[in-house]
Amino acid sequence: MRTQVVIVGAGPSGLLLGQLLHKAGIDNVIVERQSADYVLGRIRAGVLEQVAVDVLDEAGVGQRMHAEGLPHEGFDLLFKGARHRIDLAGLTGGRKALVYGQTEVTRDLMAARAASGQTTVYEAAHVAIHGFDGAHPHVTYEKNGQTLRIDADFIAGCDGFHGVCRASVPGSAITEYEKVYPFGWLGLLSDTPPVHEELIYVNSPRGFALCSMRSRTRSRYYLQVPLSDTVDSWSDQAFWDELRRRLDPAAAETLVTGPSIEKSIAPLRSFVSEPMRFGRLLLAGDAAHIVPPTGAKGLNLAATDVKYLADALIEHFRERSDTGIDGYSERCLKRIWRAERFSWWFTSLMHRFPGEGEIAQKFQEAELDYLIHSEAGARTIAENYVGLPLDFGLRRA
């Protein structure tokens, strides 16, 4: 088989890239290791920045997102037992966040993919990439006992942190920066009304907690837990009891509990690999970088990488110009490092770090107190949370 761009991975990055390229008349094939149901079953992001909303609109998949997504103009910070609102819209000239789950984004993208008629191969085994440092890149995989090959002009590595694309680049050509945090997030999804109409980020002596949602009837909650904990060691009852202990009295009282639909533990990591382009291989999304979820930046960064990549590929095929491809890494990395710094800082401010003692809690509370009482402080959080504009890096910011 031959195509213009072969995309490895059918997560949000791969599906969104496929759709933007298809709309521009560029032929592409997606090769995914898992089944479509497996991809949809992973419960991940919940918050979209305006730029991600704009890119999804451009891809033509925004209809349900606008009808069902919940616009949020603020969120609460809870510390020393009291809640304080960060007025995102008031502090950023009207910008807001949209609560719309990654599962729904993926479902919308899969529907558009099916309608586009472009090929998607699910359950492809032993995916391997070849020849990206020369003029004839290609991808091989196994399916139904056969080895198949796809030739293309470019390979887009959208295969997440554990994918094959970044791992295929020689170590001498890549620099990796990494910080692994000494705790995880235990997430619980339930068909219960959210405890509050906006998100609550909690700094508690017992550890971080987050109250989020997927809709007005479906809640998503997280607890900071030691990495040694397993999902099986947390009954639903134990989860709800611990969440209540980390909340303020009013929220603890109004919290509606119910059976979990999904429970999982995610490790927290900051990771960037540089550069993001190796000849005819271009990485995008979690394949190139990971942020701890505290700042809600991962999916948003994936969306902006993909927008820049689609623009660069369209320029290549339409105008025979490689200016966009040559500048791709640098353009992405500028906003990636800004989001990495914010996510690391917000994680450090909100979590208990083993061995750091009570003084660390006092420092965090003093900083939070400063942030909410200083307009400059509150604006710093708000600006970072709503995210950078798409043309960041092309102009002063």
Q: Using CB under 6 A, list all residues that contact ligand PHB.
A: 45-47, 199, 210, 212, 220, 293-294, 296
Q: Binding residue for ligand RFL (CB under 6 A) from 62, 137, 157, 163? A: 163
Cα dist from 2 to 46, 121, 196, 352, whole Å: 36, 14, 51, 52
Q: Which of 100, 141, 181, 201 is flagged as catalytic?
A: 201
d(CA 239, CA 261): 13
Whether residue 297 lies in the annotated active site: yes
Choice between 30 and 247, CB closer to ligand RFL: 30
Count CB neighbours of 309 within 10 A: 31
Q: Binding residue for ligand RFL (CB under 6 A) from 3, 9, 22, 381? A: 9
Query: What residues contact 174, with CB distance under 8 A and at least 6 apart?
Result: 166, 273, 274, 275, 278
Q: Binding residue for ligand RFL (CB under 6 A) from 76, 159, 242, 340? A: 159
Q: Characterize the bridge pairing of strands 154-157 and 281-283.
A: parallel
Q: Binding residue for ligand RFL (CB under 6 A) from 31, 97, 152, 350? A: 31
Q: Which of 289, 297, 316, 351 is flagged as catalytic?
A: 297
Half-sphere exposure of 152 toward its Cβ, with a 13 Å CA cutoff?
A: 27
Structure tokens, 2: 């031959």
Site for ligand RFL in 38-97 (CB under 6 A): 39, 44-47
CB 34, min distance to ligand RFL, A: 4
Q: Binding residue for ligand RFL (CB under 6 A) from 285, 324, 387, 393? A: 285
54-65: b (≥16 Cβ within 10 Å) or e: bbbeebebbeeb
Choice between 137 and 184, CB closer to ligand PHB: 184
Structure tokens, 228: 């040694």
Amino acid identity, position 38: Y
Whether residue 385 lies in the annotated active site: yes
CB 294, min distance to ligand RFL, A: 9
Does residue 247 touch ligand RFL according to CB under 6 A? no
d(CA 46, CA 295): 11
CB 154, min distance to ligand PHB, A: 32
Using an 8 Å Cβ cutoff, are 119 and 30 in contact?
yes
Residue where the block lists tokens 């119910």: 258
Q: Which residues of this chain interact with ligand RFL, rule CB under 6 A?
A: 8-14, 31-34, 39, 44-47, 102, 127, 158-160, 162-164, 185, 187, 266, 285-286, 293, 296-300, 302
List active site positions.
72, 201, 293, 297, 385
